[in-house]
Structure 1
Amino acid sequence: MTTATTTRPALPSPLRLGLARGGSELREFFRQKENLIFTVSLPAVLMLLLGTVYVKEAAAAQMFAASMIGAGIISTSFVGLGMSVVGDREDGTLKRLRGTPMPFTSYFIGKIVLVFVSSLVEAALLAVVGIVRFDLQLPTSLDKWLTFAWVFSLGVIACSLIGVALSALAKSTKTAAGVFNLPYVVLQFLSGVFIMQSALPESLRTVGSFFPLKWVCQGFRSVFALDDGYAVMEAAGSWELGRTALVLGAWTVIGLVLVARTFRWSNTSR
């Protein structure tokens, strides 16, 4: 007599599960029309209002539009993703996922897919607004677009991880808005979005230079600047792209460590 043995089918790889989860996240994101409109349109509205009131010269408009594109994608990755994780924890999504074979990494791969796509949509919308309203000129050289690509990627990843880590401080979606929006708004003033850093007191410039938003916006200004002469408008008088890569890379590592130490599946346990 032979004993039949049954083998369980192998689970898909964490990457494949994560991409599938990312597809679900995107469908849900684009299905929620009100959330989509307000999340994506807010930076564009701020660009229109502030740019119309304060920006009068073509050079200033070019730099302002570049800074707003940087601030827009940080809004999507830091604020949007952080609040999304809080929502998943509050409604029990994370608790249910913990009981499935899907590994922890697949959940975050799905979130990163969502953030990359939504951030690209955000950047495209802000670029269109900049072109139509402020005569934003897009870069024409390949090296500029390559700089945009790595600043965009490092900025999204670093700020997404920071947003996930900070989500541990918010017990509900009601408190999450304050947890995420307060530092985001303050850092926009300290990072050269609304006011050029060269115009800020040295103490505030120093504080702003510790955080990713300053370096993402500065990197994007280097991409959209009409020529390298505009670098003198920066606090250091140069684009500092090497330091930009180092700071964003460092925040990526810091974010990973913070997520590993602070992430909670529910409001009552790690």
Structure 2
Amino acid sequence: MSSATDSSVIRGGAGGGAPAGATGGTGAAGPTARRTEERPRAAAERHRELGWPQYARGQFLLSWRVFWRNRRSTFIGFLLPVLLNLVVAAPLRDKEIGGVNAAAYSTVGFIGFALVTSFINLLNGVVARRDDLVLKRLRGTEVPATAIFAGQLGAAGAVVLLQVLLLGGLSVGWFGAPLPADPLLFVVTLVAGYLLFAVLAVALSGLTPSAEAAPMVATPVLLVCMFGSGVVAPLSSMPQWLQEPAHNLPLAPVVETLRTAWFGRPFGTESWSGGALARIDLLHGWQHATGSLLLVAAWTAGAAVLGRRLFRWEPRHG
């Protein structure tokens, strides 16, 4: 991440008060002196009223620009789920699983996988900003800590939204999938899953010694989530002794519930050789999803506790 760009945002955010030199001088008196004294007060009041949204917006725009200018982050964070989906899902167009088209089934799984690539992006971004002392400088200004992370997480969330629209369009337009059966459950699950992996990225940044070491932390999470959470194939295709642990990984309940919300069927027990899953109404869809959403909430709470203990505003060394 560009330290110079970050620094300009810090200066713009923290320095928005009265013009430099508006001191009035020792001989100022009368209306001129009063106006001079009122300017910094008015500016400070404006910052108190509008500061947080402005700061969050500044961090959002900065993170958004840096993401698209970095080819590596653009490939991993945006293109990787789409390209993998095209490679994996296209050969499955003539097959079914659980009563739905297998290619559409896989595509919804890759929508969940997009949350993991956003995790990688956020982890790299937080560690890079910490190592470049950007976070330390921001903390020393009037920029609220919540605005710093709201902007960065908001930019990553906007990228995920673009991926959802692209992958969802492929699922409906190319693979013939129906529109989501329960859009509200789909959105709630997507937001819950995104928050889980965003908080996890902030937490694990505390265990990452440098930006160069970030891939060593992120890659195992990516591989476990991709191959152990039912993104490509149902968990029933795994060895019996691995199925129960796999169901409790952070991404597995997200993927299962996204599929339940999209197709209106109780996913989680499907298999390649099994029959079609029965259709369920919205109420039973939420009932089926309750356990998965609670598991996601538990993972998020655990990641938040870990983050409070591990997160650092300054580099781990030096």
Global fold match (TM > 0.5): yes
| Alignment pair present for 1:206 and 2:241 | no
Shift of 1:134: 2.9
Q: Secondary structure at the match of 1:193?
A: coil
CA contact (8 A) 2:256 2:267 kept: no
Aligned partner of 2:10 in structure 1 is none
- Please show how residues 170-249 of structure 1 align to structure 2 within 5 Å: 170-225=208-263, 227-228=264-265, 232-233=269-270, 240-249=288-297
Q: How far does the alpha carbon of each residue in 1:142-186 deviate from its partner, in whole angstroms, 9 at most, with x for none?
A: xx1101110011110111001111112222222111211212212
The unaligned stretches of length 5 or more in structure 1 are none
Alignment TM-score, normalising by the size of structure 1:
0.85
**Structure 2 Cα separation of the partners of residues 66 and 129 of structure 1:** 10
Aligned partner of 2:108 in structure 1 is 66
1:248–1:19 CA distance, 2 compared to 1 (3 A): farther
What is the aligned counterpart of 2:305 among 254, 257, 261? 257
Q: How far does the alpha carbon of each residue in 1:100-122 deviate from its partner, in whole angstroms, 9 at most, with x for none?
A: 11122211111221122111012
The one-letter code matched in structure 1 to 2:314 is S
**Structure 2 Cα separation of the partners of residues 135 and 173 of structure 1:** 42
| Alignment pair present for 1:99 and 2:140 | yes
CA contact (8 A) 1:62 1:224 kept: no
Count of residue pairs brought into register by the alignment = 262
Shift of 1:71: 0.7
CA contact (8 A) 1:63 1:224 kept: no
CA contact (8 A) 1:219 1:241 kept: yes
What is the aligned counterpart of 1:122 among 160, 163, 167? 163
The one-letter code matched in structure 2 to 1:266 is E
Aligned partner of 1:84 in structure 2 is 125
1:170–1:21 CA distance, 2 compared to 1 (3 A): same
**Structure 1 Cα separation of the partners of residues 163 and 83 of structure 2:** 12
The one-letter code matched in structure 2 to 1:233 is E
The one-letter code matched in structure 1 to 2:137 is R
Shift of 1:16: 4.5
Q: Secondary structure at the match of 1:212?
A: coil
What RMSD in Å do the two structures reach over aligned CA positions?
A: 2.7
| Alignment pair present for 1:35 and 2:73 | yes
Identity percentage of aligned residues? 26
Bigger-Rg structure (1/2): 2
The one-letter code matched in structure 2 to 1:175 is A
Q: How far does the alpha carbon of each residue in 1:112-136 deviate from its partner, in whole angstroms, 9 at most, with x for none?
A: 2112211101212222333454333
Shift of 1:231: 6.0
Aligned partner of 2:189 in structure 1 is 151
CA contact (8 A) 1:17 1:106 kept: yes
Shift of 1:228: 2.3
1:125–1:99 CA distance, 2 compared to 1 (3 A): same
